[in-house]
Amino acid sequence: MPRKGKRSRFSIEMTTPWWMYETITEQAFWWFVREQNLESVETVDSGKRHIVVNIRRYRDIKCHGQIQEWDVEGSKTDYCIDLNYEQDLRDFVATVMHELVHLQQYETGEWKGDGEKECERRQYELADEFWEQGLTLNA
């Protein structure tokens, strides 16, 4: 969650029936926003960003994760992230971080090629750092 007393320019909407994956993803999202200082990134419009996260089976998305800019007229959604939950937990968290690095690339406008090399280089480092700093799971 955003820091107490602070309003975020980001909002996140989760679609999953699995509380554990929702909890991990939401905590990872807010940790990443805070640690990477995304609140202060200068963007073209510097407006609010609404992100929808769908946590699904591999057969539904045919990959471990993906992010898309969502440019549908009349929609409040800016980005859509799909995540595959059918992987071990460390790989799932690394996938979340991979897609969040892409979000950072979109927001800053800074990446080389398709941005994959940076995401692959950073995903496990970020996942392990997040894990070490205190993921909490409460049912």
**10-40+47-130: in CATH 3.40.390:** yes
Measured distance CA(109)–CA(94) in Å, rounded: 22
What's the mean pLDDT in 27-33? 95
pLDDT tens digits, one per residue of 40-93: 887 656 678 999 999 999 999 999 999 999 888 888 899 999 999 999 999 999
Question: Residue 2's pLDDT is what?
Answer: 54
Q: What does the domain layout of the chain look like in residue ranges? A: 10-40+47-130
pTM value is: 0.89
Answer yes or no: are the C-beta atoms of 100 and 79 closer than 8 Å. no
